[in-house]
Homo-oligomer: A and B are copies of this chain.
Amino acid sequence: MPQSLDELRYELALANRMCAHEGVLDAFGHVSARHPDDPNKYLLSRSRAPELVEPGDLLEFTLDSQPVTPTNVRLYGERVIHGEIYKARPDVMAVCHHHAAAIMPYCVSGEEIVPVYHLGAVIGVKAPFWDQRNDFGDTNLLVIEPAEGASLAKALGPHWVVIMRRHGATVAGRSLRECVFRSIYSVRNAEYLTQAKLLGTPSPLNRVETERAGDYNLAPGPVARAWEYWEMRLTKKGEAPPRGKATARSGKSAAKAKPAAKRKTATKKAATRGAKKTAKKGRR
């Protein structure tokens, strides 16, 4: 999916908001994307709640998670989660780090998450665990040092979802949309798995079913259908991101420049443009 930088910036802001709106992210957590033209860079918002991210908040980082252009805006503390995974996994184009309610009980109890329905197959055949204690002893549980990020990336290995003990999860994708789709449906899968465990004995997908159902659901058709749906849900609430050009670096983000009421209107117009674009794409 070759994509212009501007379009990707818009979609990345959208992805942050979608994940928030669908219950994957709250005040914390973030979605990043590898730079479309330079595999040695990635895009991530300045530090703010993902539901509020605008294209103008997105900054470029090196794979060592340093801002490409020096900045004095506040940055997320856990950027290395993204950078170290992009380093270790050239096939990964997007990363979502989250603390969704449905996966937290797995982070806390150490019970394994397995795919239990066709859409849950997007998790893949294994969601490995990572326990910061093993490599680093008693920490603040945040992933801030490059070594911590590298350890997490190593635990992820060739998989797509890694469960972080007493912390959350990190999800990777071969595209931004795949990453969002996997983030949302792995959360749904965890909800159903939990309830099934309380009711009786879950009968998970086997390896072949997981691979086949994963492939089917990550094909362009289903992903486009879900993307249109999540985008329209934001748009109907006037919560799709504005199509702002200003960068956070310049200190003139849309959020700062306009009062909320005007921004809302602008958001709606922008979202409409987005919705139409998506609709056309979905049809291809």
Contact = CB atoms under 8 A, between A and B. Distances in A.
A260 B235 contact: yes
Contacts of A209: 138-141, 166
A199 B105 contact: yes
Contact of A108 (B48, B109, B202, B229): B202
A167 interface: yes
A195 B104 contact: yes
A108 to B, nearest CB: 4
B109 A215 contact: no
Contacts of A206: 138
A28 B109 contact: no
A95 interface: no
Interface stretch (A61-69, A113-121, A152-160): A113-121
B74 A283 contact: yes
Contacts of A74: 221, 225, 282-283
Contact of A51 (B107, B116, B229, B255): B229
A192 B105 contact: yes
Contact of A260 (B49, B52, B204, B272): B272
